[in-house]
């Protein structure tokens, strides 16, 4: 007689080595069956136990023996079909293993959801004919059945949300793998497209319809209408506690609509993107094949066929027709006058001079607060004035903007108060040979990049820097 394990010990071993049942459940879902082949179970145990010690390997082999699983109650039925033995495990065990691995959650299909809805409608119909008496065992058993079915439905829908989110992440990973493997790109994209379509049409859309309180069904009331009817029945017949409990359950179910809707929007966007990408890829692959065929015609022994004959290709595609008639892009229009080039070269010379003197750019002291560190303010202004004394200038129609361009990007910690200080210096002591002319026109400047008030704008009066007439030099 072989060694036997209790149900508790066998279950403990299964959860100590969960990968065995994880793989078997994946295979069962992939084959869309409700049983496991005994041969698959033994092969999985042998493959898994190779890395274990001798004692653990023997213990696992005895615990997962078919006879031990059947005697412990974890396998409820053994069916012999075509010379093989098929094991039907306890639904509680399979569901518990699924709860331990989100990737094993079964998506709720339209048929399963409608089955739950039909069951709840049946409970509602029986509730209408009930006595609503706590001493009536039929009523109490009906209430227990109702609570059990509602709890089961909430648990399944929550698992479904987690499963959908997991699948969405998996599809994103598959899309990344497809883009990184160009050799199998078409196969990857096709498999990805099929999975997304199945996920969206068979699982997400039915769940959204099931949890939508505004949905209209041809065969009867929707989920929340059924819940409302039962809540009213319980409340009208003196069972407010049960009515409140059922109402809270309906709220929990309603709260699951938004996360599923978010997953639906993500997958729907992903689906549109994938379909568009597949169409583009197929079109490029189609025309690329045509060009490869034309290129192959030039790789023969004929000495004349050395150019692609693309006349037929261009007419068949359509997008190349009229290409010669398209105007060329216009070149940049430089000015023709001497003054234009003098102004251009003078600006370039000034910018190059600033770049050459980048090492001499002063580091202005930081100002912590207004009115508290006057010594710092004076030092900051003096350094700025010294820098202005060494700058070269040219005539300009907007002195303020020109100063701003010379200071911003060159001096660290530059702010608009520094611009006002520089402008004040230029008004009182213009560069040698120049004068400042103030106009009545106003302009606006955006704040420097490091300014603490990015939403503010500096409005100033436009000023011109002009050459001083020769008569004013004396």
Place 185 in a pLDDT band, splitting at 50, 70 and 90. Answer: low
Task: Of 70-74, 164-168, 195-199, give the lowest mean pLDDT range.
Answer: 164-168
Distance of CA 375 to the CA centre of its chain: 53
Q: Looking at residues 313-332, what average pLDDT do you find?
A: 68
Mean pLDDT of 276-291: 69
| Nearest alpha carbon to residue 106 among 98, 118, 96 | 98
Q: How many helices (H) and strands (E) does the chain have?
A: 18, 5
Pair of tokens at residue 233: 């029945």
Buried b (16+ CB within 10 A) or exposed e, 250-277: beebeebbebbeebbebbeebbeebeeb
Taking each helix axis from N to C terminus, what angle separates 185-199 and 137-180, rounded to the nearest 10 degrees? 160
Q: Sheet holding 84-89: strands in order across? A: 36-37, 84-89, 75-81
At residue 371, the pLDDT reads: 42
Higher pLDDT, 387 or 33: 33
| Residue found under tokens 């006595």 | 131
Distance CA 252, CA 62 (A): 44
How large is the average pLDDT for residues 444-454? 64
Q: What is residue 24's three-state secondary structure?
A: helix
Tokens of 24: 């078997």
Check pLDDT > 70 for residue 1.
no
Name the DSSP letter for residue 4: -
Least confident among 29-43, 267-281, 345-359: 267-281
Q: Could you tell me how far CA 225 lies from the centroid of its own chain? A: 35
Give the closest residue to 233 by CA, choosing from 143, 151, 118, 153: 143
Given a cut of 90, whether residue 374 has pLDDT beyond it is no
Determine what percent of the chain is predicted with pLDDT higher than 70. 77
Q: What is the pLDDT of residue 364?
A: 58
Q: What is the DSSP letter of 220?
A: B
Q: In the chain, what is the straight-line distance between the N-terminal and C-terminal CA atoms, in Å? A: 127
What CA–CA distance (Å, rounded) separates 68 from 52? 21
91 or 335, higher pLDDT: 91
Structure tokens at 238: 């003196």
The structure tokens listed for 432 are 């040698």
Largest CA distance in the chain: 127
Tell which CATH classification among 2.40.300, 3.40.720, 1.10.10, 1.10.3470 matches the domain 7-102: 1.10.10
Asked if pLDDT for residue 114 goes beyond 90, the answer is no
What is the mean pLDDT of the segment spanning 74-101?
87
Residue bearing the bigger pLDDT, 158 or 374:
158
Query: Can you read off the two tokens belonging to residue 371?
Result: 């009115």
d(Cα 398, Cα 439) in Å, to the nearest integer?
10
Residue 383 has pLDDT above 60, yes or no: yes
Domain ranges for the chain: 7-102, 110-280, 339-472
Q: Rounded to an integer, what distance in angstroms lies between the CA atom of residue 234 and that of residue 241? A: 9
CA angle 318, 324, 329 (to 5 degrees): 115
Give the Cα separation of 201 and 222 in Å (integer).
20
| CB atoms closer than 10 angstroms to residue 363 | 10
């Amino acid at each position: 007689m072989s060694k036997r394990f209790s149900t508790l010990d066998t279950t403990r071993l299964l959860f100590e080595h969960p990968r065995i049942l994880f793989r078997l459940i994946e295979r069962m879902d992939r084959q869309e069956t409700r049983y496991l082949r005994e041969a698959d179970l033994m092969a999985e145990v042998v493959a898994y136990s190779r890395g274990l010690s001798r004692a653990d390997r023997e213990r696992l082999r005895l615990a997962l023996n078919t006879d031990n699983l059947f005697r412990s109650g974890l396998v409820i039925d053994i069916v012999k079909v075509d010379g093989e033995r098929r094991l039907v495990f306890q639904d509680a065990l399979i569901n518990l293993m699924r709860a331990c691995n989100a990737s094993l959650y079964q998506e709720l299909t339209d048929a399963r959801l409608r089955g739950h809805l039909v069951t709840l409608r049946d409970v509602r119909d029986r509730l209408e004919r009930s006595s609503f008496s706590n001493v009536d065992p039929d009523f109490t058993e009906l209430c227990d059945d109702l609570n059990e079915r509602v709890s089961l439905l909430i648990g399944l829908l929550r698992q479904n949300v987690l499963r959908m989110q997991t699948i969405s992440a998996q599809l994103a990973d598959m899309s990344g793998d497809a883009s990184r493997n160009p050799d199998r790109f078409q196969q990857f994209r096709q498999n990805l497209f099929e999975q997304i379509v199945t996920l969206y049409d068979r699982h997400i859309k039915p769940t959204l319809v099931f949890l939508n309180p505004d949905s209209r069904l041809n065969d009867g009331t929707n989920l929340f209408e059924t819940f409302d009817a039962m809540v009213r029945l319980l409340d009208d017949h003196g069972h407010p506690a049960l009515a409140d409990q059922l109402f809270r359950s309906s709220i929990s179910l309603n709260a699951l609509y938004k996360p599923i809707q978010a997953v639906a929007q993500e997958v729907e966007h992903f689906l549109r993107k994938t379909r568009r990408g597949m169409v583009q890829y197929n079109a490029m692959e189609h025309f690329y094949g045509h060009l490869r065929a034309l290129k192959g015609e030039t790789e023969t022994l004929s000495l004349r066929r050395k150019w692609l004959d693309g006349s037929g290709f261009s007419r068949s595609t359509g997008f190349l027709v009229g290409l010669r008639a398209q105007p060329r892009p216009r070149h940049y229009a430089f000015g023709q006058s001497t003054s234009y080039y003098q102004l251009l070269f003078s600006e370039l010379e000034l910018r190059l001079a600033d770049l050459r003197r980048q090492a001499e750019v002063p580091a202005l002291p930081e100002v912590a607060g207004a009115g508290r560190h006057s010594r710092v303010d004076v030092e900051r202004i003096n350094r700025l004035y010294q820098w202005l004394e060494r700058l070269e200038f040219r005539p300009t129609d907007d002195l303020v903007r020109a100063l701003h361009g010379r200071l911003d990007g060159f001096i660290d910690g530059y702010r608009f108060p520094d611009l006002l200080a520089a402008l004040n210096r230029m008004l009182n002591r213009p560069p040698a040979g120049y004068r400042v002319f103030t106009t009545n026109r106003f302009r606006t400047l955006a704040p420097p990049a490091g300014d603490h008030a990015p939403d503010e704008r500096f409005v100033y009066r436009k000023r011109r820097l002009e050459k001083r007439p020769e008569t004013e030099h004396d």
